[in-house]
Chain A
């Protein structure tokens, strides 16, 4: 479900405060109807603090119109673009569930503002596998049971891919150290290490 289109139950609230548009390639969900300028204007008391921006996520440009300037990258992904593969565990930079890649580097998306990431290449779990159905690390997580509930998993995998790319997957101890920003309350750590070890070996 997306919340584009449609009228609200209460006429007072029928204005759409946020326009989600996906520019160009990729066939993302599109929702048109009001112009960007109109959307910015109707944004209510916060109107003076709203902005338009374009984010490049998984090689697709997403236009966000009339969003609050202080919107985090995490909220932009989850609440505005409905890319909910990126998880919110704390919103405080303490758990790593929200890890994404920005220009290839791992970033806690709850600790950065969407507006700061314009013009950069953002990759989320939804865009990790390029050709195959699953990225080798995703496949390794399934094989080694690198999760139970799965909620920390997208963050673990984004972090794990970066950990390997950084050259921090040379030994189990090194993996443990460089994966310690990603909490897993189900306690799948050993299997996460095994998954990363395997994917790192495949790359070597």
Chain B
């Protein structure tokens, strides 16, 4: 059996279980100081005065920076906006002036000898505000504006049309017209974002939590007006991120500003509370869905009008309408996308950005349509199966969604599901089953990698990618071992250093499809070099070859980039998600007792790790469906449940039987490995499958996620 496709345990597992894996905030250069920030408590306006005298006198405090004494940084413009940044607007410039754009914006930075001293010092900075202009605090779709030209270029609204959707909807014999809301969610990786900054002359080293060391280097270089070569970003382990470490956030700038002024290394680690306001979120959304169908369930009209939120200073638009466009065949379709600019910190991608959110509305709406038609929900989906991508009007590169429906249904026991809701009761519990389709747009980026064959008989493979949990260390070791014909134990893969060969963001499920081929190329190149000196010796004997040739290593670097496949074809991962819920008949407490996902993600490099990723997505989907809800006080303009006990995330007792299966496929076009990516797909479809199961259990539709007991009680 090839090592690709084999369920090997994580190569970094031992370091993670014995405490040896070092995350960004754990690097402690000599003479390290600690920083904390004081953050605005008003959502919009101007700082009138800023009295830092008490903070400066507090125990252990060495430095207090505000807009009155901080360096003005050049913030050079990039030649081109990277995909991880919002589509338009100007990023927040920290300590650059008295203007307040959202509650939680850093207004002062305190550097002290210990973390506690820095936090205490920061608590002593009072700031009276002039609350003018009035803050924009209501998420009201009536206040929304169509997305901009810049968003349109990325196919994120403001409108797409095919045929005459409104006319077809008006004529359709069976219709559905509903609004679906999803609360704002926070990523809340268990590792809080942290940056340790150290200057040596005009060279800066950052140990910083990031999904993209290369961009963090470039971004910080531009903010400080440095050549990128003067900045090095190191981050070997990322303690989860889910999109929240794609961009370079203001705290990274603050850490570097502080270290430069203090002339000592500084650590700035965000508090759990600050993770609500420093690093983005999945903004709240409302989707107005109208579907029209004939009595046989054929879709005649698909209309989705989505409203998202963004900040007042940047436009964050995401592919929210992807599912409405691409999932089902329908000739008459219309999508619209608007945003409400608010005095909030800018949203950012969160696992399955856009697609997971879009699927919530679409898949709940399809379930309701199936109910109106008296049809099995899978049957309705099969009757509208898209044989090519209706949005891009391109053929799929590969699509095994039928197999996902069939194999998932079989594993789950879907055929025994009664069509009618509220049909099964077990003790105090109403039991219901629901399903949803999953789809996520696959991608691939140009990437480089290097391989060095070393005298100890091991190969060292490097790439400036990251591993926030999916298992990049392991899967890339597998790819390299396979390409070199070496056992796993003789291959070491290193990542997370901006001096390594470049990669793009570790996000959007693109890592396997992007980094894997670069490693294959680099391995091929190093084998060719070895052949030149090997005299026919097998590659496994390269240590002996090096010795004979008097070399201390043979090294090669190579790049791989996508061809035209993403232009000529629509390339997507697919899945079918099935959920069982139990609802207490009186209390309306909901438990997701069983979830099965069947996925077409192309070839699976490591089934053990891919399974973990998918069931991890199910846990987050349970959070999305039942718990996660940033409570927004629209009078104060603040998050009112700003800790990880009040913002409820799933705990172990919430999790029951989860299973993921992979249909046997191989993506023919995207990359030579045959992969399509797993991560985002694992979240897509989970929340609507649960919501549909709640309806099936109770006969009640709650179109406001999360479905909390109070919402279900009053539905």
Question: Which residues of A come within 8 Å of B, CB atoms?
Answer: 1-6, 8-10, 13, 17-18, 44-46, 49, 68, 70-72, 75, 78-79, 82-92, 94-95, 97, 124-126, 128-129, 133-134, 138-139, 141-143, 145, 147-154, 157, 175-177, 179-193
Contacts and interface: CB of A to CB of B under 8 A. Distances in A.
B21 to A, nearest CB: 6
Contacts of A150: 12, 15-17, 21, 237, 239, 469
B191 A126 contact: no
Contacts of B155: none
B413 to A, nearest CB: 19
A49 B59 contact: yes
Query: Nearest 7 CB-CB pairs, A to B?
Result: A85-B19, A187-B619, A151-B239, A150-B16, A148-B469, A46-B59, A187-B616
A72 B188 CA distance: 23
B190 interface: yes
Contacts of B15: 150
B618 interface: yes
B653 interface: yes
A148 B17 contact: no
B382 interface: no
Contact of A90 (B22, B57, B62, B272): B272
Contacts of B116: 68, 70-72, 75
A145 B9 contact: yes
Contacts of A190: 615, 655, 658
Interface stretch (B28-36, B44-52, B86-94, B304-312): B28-36
A5 B650 contact: no
A141 B13 contact: yes
A143 B9 contact: yes
Interface stretch (B246-254, B360-368, B456-464, B606-614): B606-614
A176 B601 CA distance: 30
B653 A188 contact: no
Contacts of A128: 18
Interface stretch (B100-108, B175-183, B641-649): B641-649
A45 B57 contact: yes
20 contacts: A10-B264, A13-B264, A46-B59, A68-B59, A71-B116, A79-B28, A92-B643, A141-B17, A148-B612, A149-B237, A150-B21, A150-B469, A151-B23, A151-B237, A152-B190, A176-B652, A185-B242, A186-B469, A186-B619, A192-B652
Given A89-B192, A185-B649, 19 more contacts: A3-B30, A9-B263, A18-B114, A70-B116, A71-B116, A72-B116, A88-B269, A89-B190, A92-B272, A95-B644, A126-B18, A128-B18, A147-B16, A148-B616, A150-B12, A150-B469, A151-B189, A177-B652, A184-B652
Contact of A97 (B117, B190, B471, B612): B190
Contacts of A13: 31, 62, 262, 264
Contacts of A44: 59-60, 113
A187 B658 CA distance: 11
A83 to B, nearest CB: 8
B294 to A, nearest CB: 40
Contact of B188 (A46, A49, A185): A185
Nearest to B471: A148
Given A126-B19, A184-B190, A185-B190, A94 B645 contact: yes
Interface centre among A72, A88, A149 (most CB of B within 10 A): A149
A153 to B, nearest CB: 5
Nearest to B57: A45
Contact of B14 (A2, A133, A184, A193): A133
Nearest to B621: A187
A156 to B, nearest CB: 9
A183 B239 contact: no
Interface of B: 9-10, 12-23, 25-32, 34, 57-60, 62, 113-117, 187-192, 237-240, 242, 262-264, 269, 271-272, 468-471, 608-609, 611-613, 615-620, 643-645, 649-653, 655, 658
Interface centre among A4, A186, A187 (most CB of B within 10 A): A187
Contacts of B117: 46, 68
A71 B263 CA distance: 25
A189 B619 contact: yes
Given A3-B30, A157-B17, A145 B264 contact: no
Contacts of B619: 184, 186-187, 189
Contacts of B468: 149
B113 A17 contact: yes
Given A45-B57, A49-B59, A150-B237, A186 B9 contact: no
B210 to A, nearest CB: 14
A101 B561 CA distance: 50
Contact of B652 (A10, A79, A83, A180): A180
Contact of B27 (A1, A10, A177): A1
A187 B617 contact: yes
A1 B30 contact: yes
A39 to B, nearest CB: 12
A138 B18 contact: yes
B277 to A, nearest CB: 16
A101 to B, nearest CB: 14
B616 to A, nearest CB: 3
A182 to B, nearest CB: 7
Contacts of A181: 651
A182 B652 contact: yes
Nearest to B470: A148
A188 B611 CA distance: 10
A18 B31 CA distance: 11
Given A68-B117, A85-B19, A151-B240, A187 B615 contact: yes
B437 to A, nearest CB: 21
